[in-house]
Amino acid sequence: MGIVYSDISVSADGFATGLDQREEAPFGDIDESWLHSWMFDAYEENSAEVDAIVDSGATIMGRNMFGPVRGEWDRDWRGWWGPNPPYHGPVFVLTHHPHDSIEMEGGTTFHFVTDGIEAALERARVATGERNISIAGGARTVNQFLAAGLLDELRMHVTPCILGAGERVFDGVPPQRLVRTSVRATSLVTHMTYRRL
């Protein structure tokens, strides 16, 4: 069976987004490039990490990562990524409001799960077989999986900026021991991988 992992870019003070996430500002009131320019502006030196982010058989994400719609689904929203999202497989979106699955180009299908992270993980395991499962984010979703002991590997991409506020990785996560299995610094980011003991 594959592992359950998460790749998440964070500021030096641990935030994965700023405050006031909304449609015109998916990462809140910050310059998104502070967190993610390493994927694009320095792709060559970070290509292995970028490629590993979407190398899973299935993906789980929170509703805020899927889009800005809150409450009941009152509009036709199909994700931030355009008609061909980068996942190319099943994506399970955590939500409190039922929604029909959405098929996209390139093999991505968004499925909406209303009965919690364990149910989403079980559906992802069935869909992916022996491949890995990615917990894409945001920080609240990653924290839920960490708190429940369901995340095998956490890959943090720490960028040299301070956001000061927003959604922080590890908020609400009970004490636990992690083992750092790798660390690699490049010009725009430090890649750190942790595993649960």
CATH topology of domain 4-71+81-196: Dihydrofolate Reductase, subunit A (3.40.430)
Q: HSE (CB half, 13 Å, CA atoms) of 53?
A: 18
Angle at 31 between CA 108 and CA 34, to 5 degrees: 80
Res 54: pLDDT: 84
pLDDT one digit per residue (tens) for the chain, 197 residues: 799 999 999 999 999 999 998 889 999 999 999 999 999 988 899 999 988 988 899 999 999 999 998 889 988 999 999 999 999 999 999 999 999 999 999 999 999 999 999 999 999 999 998 999 999 999 999 999 999 999 999 999 999 999 999 999 999 999 999 999 999 999 999 999 999 88
90 membership: H or E segment, kind and range: strand 90-94
Decide if 84 contacts 67 (C-beta within 8 A).
no
The pTM of the full predicted model, rounded to 2 decimals, is 0.95
Res 42: pLDDT: 87
Sheet containing strand 109-113, strands side by side: 102-103, 109-113, 90-94, 58-62, 133-137, 4-10, 153-158, 190-196, 178-185
